[in-house]
Structure 1
Amino acid sequence: MQFSQNAGSDRPRRIVLLGSTGSIGTQALDVVDAAGGRFEVVALAAGGSNLELLARQAVRTKAGAVGIARGSGHELRRLIEEAAHGAGITGYSPELLAGDEAAATLAAWPDADVVLNGMTGSIGLAPTIAALQAGHTLALANKESLIVGGEVVTSLARPGQIVPVDSEHSALAQCLRSGTADEVERLVLTASGGPFRGKTRTELADVTPEQALAHPTWNMGPMVTTNSATLVNKGLEVIEAHLLFGIDLDRIEAVVHPQSVIHSMVEFIDGSTIAQASPPDMRLPIALGMAWPERVRSAAHPCDWSQAASWTFEPLDNEAFPAVELAKESARRGSTYPAVYNAANEEAVMAFHAGRIGFLDIVDTIAAVLDEHVPTGSMSMDTVLKAESWARNRARDRLGSGTNPTVRDNAAPGNIRGQ
């Protein structure tokens, strides 16, 4: 995929930030603050679990519109007024939107240049589609919407309209500038290995939600962090790379790189490999997503080449962590299989953190639900949503039946929460 070279402008690039109170959203606002007026936040949206933070963000950015999926618009208005008063700001009164359609409405906001979709999960699909249909550049951190939507999403996007924000795909986009599409041999995505790198399948049977959330490198939300522990996240990223860059699945490989300094690599037909390196900091790909194709000075700290360092690479252990191969198989089957993969995983992760199942049951549940899936109809928003609904119900049936061998009735509850 070739990314568009948008003409520069003297005015700030206008940003709609979806998922503003989550990990991506809060770091995006750090980038905005540090960029010296290069960006202007025109709208914010969040799930609604942290209205006080959202209110402070609204006052901080003076966004013209603020949306929540859940919660009281009256309460948010009161909190914004309190935050504005505390900051000594008068006359600030943004337009407020509340309900399931708020994020999608803001994604199509007419004043926007770029929509940064930092939502978690497939609920980001409708806003992704809305942003593309409105003609905005989509800085995509919500990989699930692309994976679930598949050709429904890719068919809407003009060349260069989707700019990846995942660190791995941002790295690939940067590396791909080194050659033409015909010169690409394969894409290599790196994985930290998560908190359980090196463990056998037997050793994974009794890990706890707290252990799964103890990621050695990245500070992410609970769903993404758990997905990293199972390597489901890497499976989703393989599908995302396939859809973003049009590279066959057999030419996309994932390797374990515990230091998380090389974020991904592109191997070219002449034997050359171009790698993107930087300390693990999501502010760099976020800044690139909002400013693409330009770079933002001092978005993140560079590597310190004056210090000795070692980088290691290891193959994936597909026996202990079968999620990546399972993701590839779902993508090969196509149609609504990737949507089923993602939906079944989301239900299983929530059950794991509720203490109803064991860690290994997460990927086992995905595999079982995929095996039962029979696609119906051609790909459309309606068939995707129906497949997702079926997968969630089927996963819940399995997870609530007590038939999975490692379900732990007395497990401690986890801390999955909305962002």
Structure 2
Amino acid sequence: MSTPSDLYPRVHAHVQEMMEKIAAPAQGAIRHPYLTITTSNYYKGLLFCWDNYFSALRFAADGVSCHLRNFLDNMHEYQRSDGFIPNAILADGGPGYFEPDFLCQPFLAQAAAQLLEVSGDLEAAAKDFGWIRRFVDYWLKSRTAPFGLCRWDGPAYYSGIDNEILASILHPSSIIAPDVNAYLYAELRALAFIAERINEDSAAEELRQRADELRESINRHLWSDEIGAFGAYNTSRGSVHISFGSKNQRKGFGAFAYLSSSALPVLYTGAATQEHGETMCRQYVIAPEHFRSPFGIRSLSRSSEYCNYAVLGNPGRFDEYSRQCNSNWQGPVWIPLGWMAFHGLLKYGMRDEAASLSLDIMKSICNCLDIMGSLPENVDGDSGKPLYASHYASWNLMGDLMERYIHSGLGHAPQIQF
């Protein structure tokens, strides 16, 4: 039986090798150094928000803060006066690579807070505070939904979960997803953290209050008492939409059709109450019939009728006509989901289960290295077979970090408690 001490050296060595290969100089419209998504030429010259954030976070865990700085500077280059920032920058095509309205995913305040924690640079944090607050305010004002919540307000891939099941079937404007609200909760908490450190006490108090209000609304309106899980709120139906319907659910059909990994960020950010977090972790995150795979965390409950391990996923019904396929998030195991679930398990008192998850993710990484010599985007949740892409870095860099949390701690924690 493999142990962490058997696996960690190999996983860590591969992560370090990837980190050495992905640091790239400024290029065209990407005006500051950046981190490439792969260690090959694929995706070179392209900066995506959440890929770059998680990659920079891994460097910060080793005390290297420059990549968080560069990430923020690249995004700030294209901020409009109203606060809007595009989600992607193409070196040869400029900002808004996919479409002009693709709003940057809400990770910038978290990046700035992590940067402050690692660098200690209060002067830079004070300069960042204003423009990032305008960005978060733009999110809260322009993407409003009922109950004081927000929505992605675009195709499923706006979230990064390219073919998230419910947003791929229903019109995205009718969906209030848990992930975006969890990220915004973390953004508000991160801004409050920065404000407190730069002696903006009244701003810190206001931001914490807004975060608390958002957290209360997440737990009130995006939690299903019937299922015992977080899910997307369907405004057409007037309820959290996880099952086909209560009548079918009693027959055992469709009970977990839409139990999606978009709920995991609520655990990752600590937005869930203690009771809700413990319930969801126990009933779904660690349950093999739902999210827990022998290879990590599935992107959709295994008990969903939609669960599949296709290499590529079909586009959503309301996606751009030119987007003929997506990365598949309707079942395959992804390392960033493992990273989020891992932190959720730690936050809600399941340390042993978090350690077991870390071990299985390292086993999966070694399995991929044995098969293909590099890491894919995702793997089959039942067999562990590598699925799409090769030489994939991005959030796969987090693969060796969980073990350090469990056994040795971190000098620079990339998931600070804001």
TM-score by length of 2: 0.28
Q: Which has the higher helix share?
A: 2
Larger-Rg structure: 1
Q: Which has the higher strand share?
A: 1
